[in-house]
Structure 1
Amino acid sequence: MSDEAARPLPLVILGAGGHAKVLVSVARALHLDIQGVCDPQLHRSGQSQWRGLPVLGDDVALSLIAPASILLVNGIGQTVGGVARRKLYEQFSGQGYRFATLVHPSAWVDPDVVLGEGVQVMAGAIVQADSHIGCNTIINTRAAIDHDCSVGQHAHIAPGATLCGGVTVADRCFVGSGATIIQGIEIGEDAVVGAGAVVVRHLPANQRVLGSKGRIANVPDSHQEGSE
């Protein structure tokens, strides 16, 4: 195989909020080529540079770039109940674009772990043997995923959260900062584990567990969208 064929494709970052800033740092730590950033707000403001990167335009600018020539990086962060990140992934996946799977050099991911397309594993995170992480999921800074865990698609394991062995977290779940889920627990689709919560029993779909005492409540139908 030639050096050119083996070279990773250049990246295009989608979004320019706080989460995107962290992903630029991850890509640079991996010595990857970043072609530029697409962000509607930067485009409207007329900015030509962001964090030393060219502003390529809004999302429409991607139509000028062949899908096979780049990998996208989903720079939209995941908020509780937010759908912007998932919709962006589904929109461009449907157009034939692929999303980069990024693992910070300081993270530990066991060789037997399966990472889906577009997974982002941040600095200091740990993902242990025989775990499976679904597409477009964030394993954030210093989160710990122990052996035989399964995390679904479009989920967010926030900074400092811990999943003990054999935990199942379904699609579109949000596990807050510093939360702990003990071994063997199942978290249903669209459920929310609040920051600092300790989960010692199964959490049904569309439910929220709050605080160290594990109070369970329904997840509201809609949430305020964040910009990151």
Structure 2
Amino acid sequence: MMQPAAKKPVVVLGGGGHARVVLDVLRAMGYRIQGVIDPKELAPLPGDVRWLGADLGCVRPVDCDLALGVGSVGVGPRNLRPRLFADGKAAGFQFVVLRHPTAIVAPDVEIAEGAQIMAGAVIQPGTVLGRNVIVNTSASIDHDCRIGDHVHVAPGVVLSGGVCIGEGAHLGTGAVVIQGITIGAGAMIGAGAVVTESVPTGARLKSAR
């Protein structure tokens, strides 16, 4: 019987707060962490993690996979995640899927490359997560949701069943979306918002609706 291929070491892009969470998940999953890439040398880095350099030119796809350590604080030009993901793919790298051991994920959930599922998240049957999605700490996604590429579902967000979220949208901390709602690509849902009707592409929703 063939043995499964050994995991490559992982390099984390970015060294800020989200990167520390990513490093914790990687350790919990048993990955070896090769180091961190960031435009500036960071000191101190957690544990024995070392700074490798300022850009992807210091590592090779044959030697390591990548994990994005840059979070999402907005949409459009403020969101570096889509660009960094595209740069990594263009350079030939693979992005690992992160899934914290405490997350509850139904067996049939589809998870695309680079998605990150953080501690305490719950994802129910029939859900599809696009590339480079963040399902952050203690977020809850119910059945049959569709989450587009590069979406950030922030800590404590609750999605009822059948919610569709377009590419690059950001759902702020603690937002609640009722069943069957569609949130358009690039939309920004403010922290604590209650979304009771669909949100157009590129819209900003800061208050209860």
What interval of TM-score do these two structures reach, taking the shorter chain for normalisation?
over 0.9
Partner of 2:30: 31
- How far does residue 106 in structure 1 lie from its aligned partner after superposition? 0.2
Distance 1:2 1:40 in 2: 41
Higher-Rg member (1/2): 1
In structure 1, what is the equivalent of residue 96 of structure 2? 100
SS, match of residue 6 in structure 1 = coil
CA distance in structure 2 between the aligned counterparts of 1:57 and 1:66, rounded to whole angstroms: 13
Please tell me whether residue 58 in structure 1 is matched to residue 54 in structure 2.
yes
Gaps of 5+ in 1: 215-228
Q: Which letter maps to 1:149?
A: C
Contact 2:52 2:58 (C-alpha < 8 Å) held by counterparts: no
Query: How much does 1:177 deviate?
Result: 0.6
Separation (CA, whole Å) in 1 of partners of 2:50 and 2:188: 37
SS of match in other structure, 2:12: strand
Where 1:20 maps in the other structure, the secondary structure is: helix
Counterpart secondary structure, 2:174: coil
CA RMSD of aligned residues (A): 1.4
The equivalent of 2:125 in structure 1 is 129
Give the TM-score of the pair, scaled to structure 1. 0.86
- Equivalenced residue count is 206
Consecutive unaligned residues of structure 2, counting only runs of 5 or more, are: none
CA distance in 1, matches of 2:19, 2:189: 24
Q: CA deviation at 1:64?
A: 4.5
Q: Distance in 1 between matches of 2:148 and 2:62?
A: 26
The structural deviation recorded for 1:83 is 2.7
Q: Percent identity?
A: 42
The CA deviation at 1:6 is: 2.3
AA aligned to 1:17 is G
Candidates 193, 198, 205, aligned match of 1:202: 198
| Counterpart residue number, 1:7 | 6
More helix by proportion, 1 or 2?
1
Corresponding residue of 1:226: none
2:137 aligned with 1:141 = yes
What does residue 172 of structure 1 align with? 168
